[in-house]
Amino acid sequence: MKIPKGFSFAAMNAGIKTLRKDMALVYSELPCSAAGVLTVNKARAAPVEDAAGRLPGSGFRAIVVNSGNANALTGPEGREDVAAIHAALGKALGVPRESVLSASTGVIGVRLPVQKLILGCAGLARSRSDAIVGAAEAIMTTDTRVKLTHRVVSVGGIAVTIAAFCKGAGMIAPEMATMLAFLTTDASIDPKTLQGMLERATLASFNNLTVDNDMSTNDAVFLLANGASGAPPLRDKAELANFEAQLTSICVELARAIAEDGEGATKLVEVRVSGAPDLATARDLAKSVAGSSLVKAAIFGADPNWGRVLSAIGARAGSRGYPVDPHAARVTIQGDVVFDLGRPAHKDPASLRAKMREPQVKIDVDLRKGSGEATSWGCDLSYDYVKINADYTSLTQASPEGVVSRDDRLTRYSPSFKRALLVEALSYIQKFDGKRAVVKYGGAAMVKDSLKASFANDINLLRSAGLLPVVVHGGGPEISRTLEKLGAGKSEFVDGIRVTGAEDVKVVEMVLTGRINSEIVSLLNQEDANAVGVSGKDAGLLRARRLYGKDGRDLGMVGEITQVNHMYLSMLLEKGYVPIISPVGLGEDGEGYNINADTAAAEIAVSLKAEKLIYLTDVAGILDHEELISEISAKDLRAKIDSGSIRGGMAAKAESILRALDGGVTSVHVIDGRTPHGLIAELFTDTGIGTLVRRD
């Protein structure tokens, strides 16, 4: 993350929330041109009202943001509190109070604990640094991860940076649905030009976002330009256009991130309408499709229900009087044409359904009328969304001292919700209690923050359902990167297994045990999962001998497991620990051997007599000619391997799966680690989401 020259940031807990960061600061050493796009809600919050009267403008130095309390519908006191905070921050920073802007997000109708914020201002001023991430964290409410990005643009041959962070509209209660974005740049731009650019960028991005249909009292996008890059003031037409394109691309990236992180969302939905009579019509229609509850529910269920898409277009066009004809449109879902020339066009619904299980679903509607074209972003509508929303309002509480917290004790949910939850949970607890499940953790689920968080969550859920999870992790991409960085060049793979030289195996061990393993342990223990990191060398957990390729080929320090110290693992499991195993084997020669994580997971599952073995990977499951196999027997899987339709990394997995089933594991699942909470969906629903391999 690169930040523009002359800007610094700060974040802290000022006591509005119980523990999490709740105040953020954006500060510029030089006075800035400032622009803002603010909510048109008539019940605007006090800080928004304040900014509206002063933007666009120049001479601005700082923005102070708080989360936890929206300072909306708080009467004249709300405005007084804003003034007091601006004065306090101005004093702490040694800048005029008029140079301070502010924004708030959180509960509506509760007065700000203004003394806490005033003290907070002093703390923020003291702790300024280039750590923009902290600021991005401090503005989160229902967001599950930070959202920030940057671009570098050349102006007059000098590099200019634009950096931005935002928080999204959680799809839940309207009082929490605020979207805030803060953009900073070291370009030199006059306020009027800046305002025009920001308005157009917002129109093409945040305004095409539909998370819920409520407009917040606090929505705000701010842009500060301080000129500290030393680049000449932006006036040249081509350069202005280039800068605006990058600014827009930042806003689009953030808008997509917000949609992806919608409450309860499992998929990002992108709707592109082209061939509309004009741009405004295209935008409105794209948004009406992305916002349609029926379309969103169909996408959650991976149902290619194009009728709902055209129905949404038709309904909106009809009520607004747009001159468009849905019958003449062409509709494409995930690249497959589903409706064209007045009739259904699709031939292979099964393959389209498989494509719709991807974490991003794209719908294209060509109206064949004009040149208007626009994209809108949203998310699917999941069971989770309804569950959360059905009970949300009673959960947010503000104490008399202004501390906002969530009381989600079970007692506060409605009786019907509790009943459903308990019945569902109890049946699984009975089924799973005391059973062992080995999970191979790999792919995007190990890289992407939101997926990491959902994985940690799922492991805890498995534990609370009585299951005893064991995690075996891979580390492929990171090992490759490190080896390449160290000048070892690209690794050679034979049947999905990395040929590992004597020097390489030290790097493999360093990355797997030293870095990845300890990261996973910390991730899980942030959620009190009782995770312990174990290398295959510890307690002689994985004994190994040298493995040779099919035709006797030398694979270097690659090992196969000869024995698993399952007593040691059983002891950890009995004591309530979650073992996190890095697949390094201990050879008779005392050397470390690189063991394919898929085979390690299988051997461990066999030796532990595990009920389940689960592979998290970056495809929907085991595919047969691009079609997901949702259930298959060991015998049929063998036939598929022999026919050559399973290759590379999946071939290594398939062999491991057969080995595990042969060794007594009851069922093996291959699931899409790119889908949040896939682990839960596979185990706790009857149909599941990935591939289930049964014994013959």
Residues of this chain that interact with ligand ADP (CB under 6 A) are: 442-443, 474, 476, 496, 598, 617-619, 622-623, 645-650
Query: In whole angstroms, what is the distance from residue 151 CA to residue 187 CA?
Result: 12
Question: Is the separation of the CB atoms in 622 and 646 below 8 Å?
Answer: yes
Closest approach of ligand ADP to the CB of residue 177, in Å:
36
For 188-266, where are the alpha helices, taking DSSP H only?
191-203, 237-260
Considering the complex, state which of residue 493 and residue 568 has its C-beta at the smaller distance from ligand ADP: 493
Query: In whole angstroms, what is the distance from residue 594 CA to residue 497 CA?
Result: 10
Considering the complex, state which of residue 103 and residue 479 has its C-beta at the smaller distance from Mg ion: 479
Token pair recorded at residue 691: 């591939």
The residue whose Cβ lies closest to ligand ADP is 649
| Residue 646 contacts which entry, Mg ion, ligand ADP, none (Cβ below 5-8 A, type-dependent) | ligand ADP
Catalytic option among 144, 161, 178, 332: 178
Considering the complex, state which of residue 277 and residue 496 has its C-beta at the smaller distance from Mg ion: 496
Closest approach of Mg ion to the CB of residue 474, in Å:
6
Closest approach of ligand ADP to the CB of residue 678, in Å:
13
Considering the complex, state which of residue 264 and residue 649 has its C-beta at the smaller distance from Mg ion: 649
Using the contact rule CB under 5 A, the part of the chain among 191-199, 317-325, 562-570, 646-654 near Mg ion is 646-654
Active site residue 617: no
Could you tell me which residues are beta bridge partners of residue 670?
A: 615, 691
Considering the complex, state which of residue 36 and residue 649 has its C-beta at the smaller distance from Mg ion: 649
Using the contact rule CB under 5 A, the part of the chain among 78-86, 326-334, 463-471, 644-652 near Mg ion is 644-652
| Residue 313 contacts which entry, Mg ion, ligand ADP, none (Cβ below 5-8 A, type-dependent) | none
Considering the complex, state which of residue 275 and residue 442 has its C-beta at the smaller distance from ligand ADP: 442
Token pair recorded at residue 154: 């050349």
Considering the complex, state which of residue 475 and residue 533 has its C-beta at the smaller distance from ligand ADP: 475
Considering the complex, state which of residue 424 and residue 626 has its C-beta at the smaller distance from ligand ADP: 626
Considering the complex, state which of residue 521 and residue 619 has its C-beta at the smaller distance from ligand ADP: 619
Mask: binding to Mg ion, 592-631, rule CB under 5 A, as x and -?
----------------------------------------
Closest approach of ligand ADP to the CB of residue 676, in Å:
17
Considering the complex, state which of residue 93 and residue 439 has its C-beta at the smaller distance from ligand ADP: 439
| Residue 48 contacts which entry, ligand ADP, Mg ion, none (Cβ below 5-8 A, type-dependent) | none
Closest approach of Mg ion to the CB of residue 493, in Å:
9
Give the list of residues 6+ apart from residue 425 with CB closer than 8 angstroms, or none: 465
Question: Is the separation of the CB atoms in 27 and 228 below 8 Å?
Answer: no
**DSSP per residue over 211-229, as a string?**
S-SPPPSS-EEEEEE--TT
| Residue 676 contacts which entry, Mg ion, ligand ADP, none (Cβ below 5-8 A, type-dependent) | none
Query: In whole angstroms, what is the distance from residue 429 CA to residue 423 CA?
Result: 10
Q: What value, to the nearest 5°, has the Cα angle with vertex 20 and ends 15 and 25?
A: 75
Residue with tokens 């013959």: 696
Query: In whole angstroms, what is the distance from residue 619 CA to residue 623 CA?
Result: 8
Give the list of residues 6+ apart from residue 573 with CB closer than 8 angstroms, or none: 436, 468, 470, 579, 608
| Residue 617 contacts which entry, Mg ion, ligand ADP, none (Cβ below 5-8 A, type-dependent) | ligand ADP
Closest approach of ligand ADP to the CB of residue 451, in Å:
13
Distances (CA, A) of 183 to 149, 221, 222, 608, 688: 10, 8, 6, 53, 42
Expressed in angstroms, the distance from the first to the final Cα of the chain is 52
Query: In whole angstroms, what is the distance from residue 519 CA to residue 525 CA?
Result: 10
Distances (CA, A) of 680 to 391, 402, 410, 455, 487: 22, 37, 20, 9, 41
Closest approach of Mg ion to the CB of residue 580, in Å:
18
Query: In whole angstroms, what is the distance from residue 37 CA to residue 195 CA?
Result: 8
Q: What is the DSSP letter of 206?
A: G
Q: What value, to the nearest 5°, has the Cα angle with vertex 327 and ends 324 and 332?
A: 95
What's the full length of the chain, in residues? 696
| Residue 647 contacts which entry, Mg ion, ligand ADP, none (Cβ below 5-8 A, type-dependent) | ligand ADP
| Residue 278 contacts which entry, ligand ADP, Mg ion, none (Cβ below 5-8 A, type-dependent) | none
Closest approach of ligand ADP to the CB of residue 583, in Å:
11
Closest approach of ligand ADP to the CB of residue 350, in Å:
15
Q: Of residues 402, 649, 678, 688, which one binds Mg ion by CB under 5 A?
A: 649
Query: In whole angstroms, what is the distance from residue 630 CA to residue 613 CA?
Result: 16
Considering the complex, state which of residue 68 and residue 649 has its C-beta at the smaller distance from ligand ADP: 649
Q: Compute φ and ψ for 533, nearest 5 degrees.
A: -80, 130
Closest approach of ligand ADP to the CB of residue 679, in Å:
14
Q: What is the DSSP letter of 129?
A: B
Closest approach of Mg ion to the CB of residue 477, in Å:
10
Q: Compute φ and ψ for 399, nearest 5 degrees.
A: -80, 165
Query: In whole angstroms, what is the distance from residue 454 CA to residue 403 CA?
Result: 27
Question: Is the separation of the CB atoms in 17 and 137 below 8 Å?
Answer: no
* Closest to 93 (Cα-Cα) out of 33, 27, 30: 27
Distances (CA, A) of 180 to 31, 107, 219, 407, 650: 22, 15, 6, 25, 42
644: left (phi over 0), alpha (psi -120 to 50) or beta: left
Closest approach of Mg ion to the CB of residue 496, in Å:
6
Q: Which amino acid is at 369?
A: K
56 cis-preceded (ω within 30 degrees of 0): yes
Query: In whole angstroms, what is the distance from residue 72 CA to residue 177 CA?
Result: 13
Considering the complex, state which of residue 144 and residue 599 has its C-beta at the smaller distance from Mg ion: 599
| Residue 228 contacts which entry, Mg ion, ligand ADP, none (Cβ below 5-8 A, type-dependent) | none
Using the contact rule CB under 5 A, the part of the chain among 13-21, 134-142, 203-211, 642-650 near Mg ion is 642-650
Token pair recorded at residue 297: 């529910």
Give the distance, in angstroms, between the CA of residue 686 and the centroid of all CA atoms in the same chain: 26
The counts of H helices and E strands in the chain are 21, 32
The residue whose Cβ lies closest to Mg ion is 649
Neighbours of 358 (CB within 10 A): 17
The set of catalytic residues is 178
Site residues for Mg ion per CB under 5 A: 649
